[in-house]
Chain A
Amino acid sequence: MFKINNKIIVFIFFILLLNIACEKETEYEVLSGQLIGYVTLFGSDRTRLSDNSGVEVIIEGSNPQIKTSTDENGQFVIDNLKSGIYNIVFNKDGYCQYKIVSYQFVGGNKPAIIYPTSLYSQSNLQIDSLKITELESQYTVEFIVNAKISNQNENSSYYCRYYLSNEPDISYKNYISTNIAYNFSGNEDLSFYLQIDTLKFPIGSELYMIMYPASEKFQYYIDINTGNKIYTSININKPSEVTNITIPEVEAPWWLE
């Protein structure tokens, strides 16, 4: 028999204590599964293309980041995606980028679906000039906007999207209000009336405007940092110049006097 040293026993207990006190790391096993989605491409004449291949699909929020691309039918398949919330970004050269924000993916035995998403060919319009002129108007603040457009597809209708702000660093990301302007005759002159909400743009303040060529009217996603709608079917590389005008004073309506 051997004599057990007290010191050694204390030491062993100390180590055991250390072991118990050590914080446990917990890993959660999450589900994984398949995600299937489709992308439809629209050409410059705003019709569907038959070949929808070559769209890069990025799963933002996956680690390592998952990237894939679509086949001719526009289909993309992502296997073994872990459950979680992702942003899904769609890119193709010459097309407007689109993004699905905060897509919740559960995973499981059956594939989940991203319903056909449209990607629009970038508009090749050129906005040569943009001008706002005051319009003599009773009771309301109204302007007339004139833009000179170079349209390569002659006589084909087109869309432009304009943004309004009271700060000079206006862009499609940083604005107060936005709307679409269109010309169905394909004419080079785009002009429209603009009625101003004086709650957003008070009298005496400066109004800034910028315009982008657009391929379509409605598609957007929400920028979760600013809460702004980011309209996606505009050509961000071809903005007009920024133009500005001072909001004039108007006669108060007689019924408010």
Chain B
Amino acid sequence: MKKIFTGLILLLLLFSGCKKSELIQLDLKGTLKGKVYTLDEFGYQNSDNENIVIQLEGSEPLISFITNATGTYEIKDIPSGTYNLIISKEGYGGYQRQGLQILGGYEPLYFNGSIIEKSSTTIENLSLEIINSNEVYLKGIINHNYIIDQWSFRTPTIRYFIHNLSNPSDINYLQTGTISFNGDSGSQLETRIYIDKNHFPSGSEIYIIAYGCYGSEYGYYDILSNQYRYSSLGTESNITSIEIP
């Protein structure tokens, strides 16, 4: 009997070491709040901000919110974490705030944003013509819905993307730039553009595509590509190419 008791005591002693540890999972929660609104393709603010969708990519299940006409939103009980905030609406270019860190707490994190209607400006018959090894002419026919007069300060604009691969696009480019146009809809555009020699040395083939866009830069920073994403872009033009002399 004594042996059993001694054994029991030894066992108890073994478990009595001061190594009681307890794992507590922190579940901080936070609130995200703010106002979002839409702009039309000319950059004028719309009064109706209904049905703008706000999503927190990275949440499981996906947290989303749909605004009413005022455009205000409030999302409660977001577990602390890092999210991509996505603002979208049918017919509008998306906006993202990637890598949004929400620590949580009692006061809301305030975040305002806006999205812009996709441009209706289009480019037909996009073509290039060599001037020298640093510059090319960019030509095309521009169709747009702007009113061009001597007072207009909002002008139709196109954004071009250049790559040395045959599939340039708004997410696959080495050089980009904008050209503003002050001709009537359906008229010819002819402008000089500078070619970045670091990316496109002599003898290389360049491929270009263009989209109608809003006059001011509108978009967001994309983490994985370290590039800016332009969100007011409309329909794409044809792709054309030329060899740099």
Contacts and interface: CB of A to CB of B under 8 A. Distances in A.
B103 interface: yes
Interface stretch (A26-34, A145-153, A209-217, A230-238): A26-34
B12 A112 contact: no
B26 A30 contact: yes
A116 B226 contact: yes
Given A18-B16, A109-B60, A110-B57, A26 B24 contact: yes
Nearest to B19: A25
Contacts of B23: 27-29
A104 B82 CA distance: 12
Interface string B207-237: 0000000000000010110100000000000
A209 to B, nearest CB: 40
B83 A109 contact: yes
Interface string A59-91: 000000000000001110000000100000000
A201 interface: no
Given A22-B18, A106-B101, A109-B60, A75 B226 contact: yes
Nearest to B8: A12
Main secondary structure of the interface of A (DSSP, over half): mixed
Contact of A19 (B1, B16, B22, B223): B16
B20 A111 contact: no
Nearest to B25: A29
B16 A22 contact: yes
Given A16-B12, A109-B60, A110-B99, A31 B81 contact: yes
A7 B145 CA distance: 99
Range of interface residues on chain B? 35 or more
B20 A112 contact: no
Contacts of B82: 33, 106-112
Range of interface residues on chain A? 35 or more
Interface in B1-56: 1, 5, 8-9, 12-13, 15-16, 18-26
B19 A28 contact: no
A74 B227 CA distance: 13
Contacts of A22: 16, 18, 20
A104 B84 CA distance: 17
Contacts of B99: 36, 110-113
B26 A29 contact: yes
Contacts of A5: 5
B12 A12 contact: yes
A24 B16 CA distance: 12
Contacts of B5: 5, 8
A108 B25 contact: no
Contacts of B177: none
B22 A26 contact: yes
Nearest to A116: B226
B75 to A, nearest CB: 15
Interface in A1-47: 2, 5, 8, 11-12, 15-16, 18-19, 22-31, 33, 36, 38
Given A12-B9, A28-B25, A110-B84, 6 more contacts: A16-B12, A19-B15, A23-B20, A29-B25, A33-B82, A109-B59
13 contacts: A19-B15, A23-B18, A27-B23, A29-B23, A36-B224, A74-B226, A108-B80, A109-B81, A110-B83, A110-B84, A111-B82, A113-B99, A113-B223
Give the 4 A-B CB pairs with smallest separation, nearest first: A108-B81, A110-B58, A108-B82, A109-B58
